[in-house]
Amino acid sequence: MWDSLIRRIAEELDILVVSVDYRLAPEHVHPAAFDDCYAVTKWILENAVGFGIDRTRVGISGDSAGGTLAAAVAQYIHDDNTLPDLKYQALIYPVSQLLDIETPAQQKYRRHFGENGGMITWWEAAALVSWYVLGKSDEEVITTFMENTQTPSQFWQEGVQAKFVNHTLVPEEFTMDGYYSPLPTNREGNVKLWSDIGSTLLDPRLCPLMRLNMSNLPPAFVATCEFDAMRDNGIYYVKRLEQDDVAVVWKHYEGGFHGVFGPSWPFTFKIGEQMFADYIQFIKSHW
């Protein structure tokens, strides 16, 4: 599936596309995936001439977890004064934070598909976090994330990054569909677990929304979908970039879902094809 998509991008744009086969959890915990993606990107920039690449015209892209990694790598390449900034970052339904998994989009998704429906179950989603952070299925972590109590109330009240994860940042029309319920203001959290993994959840290499300053990052394309539990993660990231005057093209696809980005082998979806066309147009406009 990925090979056909990567080939299509390369052929459509007549460019060299490098795909990173990064290490996966649970065998390799955070930050292994980031380290691999950053190392490859840095190596390509440092050795661009040998491949006939103009290193001032290199962009980065990814979908889902790949979108998360692309955003994080763009940040860290920007911070490396020995390297040129990336030309753009194209992020397809990225996961930008793990502090709150009861966003309006996630509430809607659960109401539509239930905890055992959708692409993966709610338990599986929580287990993925546990694998990625700890390298194993930890029942306390899984239960805590399923209950959305991984972030303690003191952080919501005093944490610098708390304001980045705010339901009021989501456009009002996305919360007026009868599925959304505001979270209580006095939310309790698992203080002990936070003391163990809180610093990881605030690490921009895992959750790029947690970066404190987005200024001067590469121009961004961010795609979000109506039926996607991760929709608001993309919206939050768009808002942060806009607040720090980073150029952003945000495309939202009504009727779209996580994984629709074309071609979604073995199926083809009109929405996915439109997303692909918008993605290609963005890259062409940032050469």
First to last CA, the chain: 27
- Does 245 participate in catalysis according to the annotation? no
Least confidently predicted of 27-41, 110-124, 232-246: 110-124
From 247, 246, 249, select the one nearest 215 (Cα to Cα): 246
pLDDT digits 0-9 by tens, 142-154 = 999 999 999 999 9
Residue 221, SS3 per DSSP = strand
Predicted pLDDT of residue 115: 85
78, pLDDT greater than 60: yes
Q: Which is more confidently placed, 176 or 76? A: 76
pLDDT digits 0-9 by tens, 206-240 = 999 999 999 999 999 999 999 999 999 999 999 99
- Does 21 participate in catalysis according to the annotation? no
Among 78, 167, 258, 286, the one annotated catalytic: 258
Among 63, 203, 228, 232, the one annotated catalytic: 228
263, pLDDT greater than 60: no
Residue 123 confidence class, pLDDT cut points 50, 70, 90: very high
From 251, 234, 248, 245, select the one nearest 286 (Cα to Cα): 248
Among 30, 36, 63, 64, the one annotated catalytic: 64
- Does 258 participate in catalysis according to the annotation? yes
Whole-number average pLDDT of the chain: 95
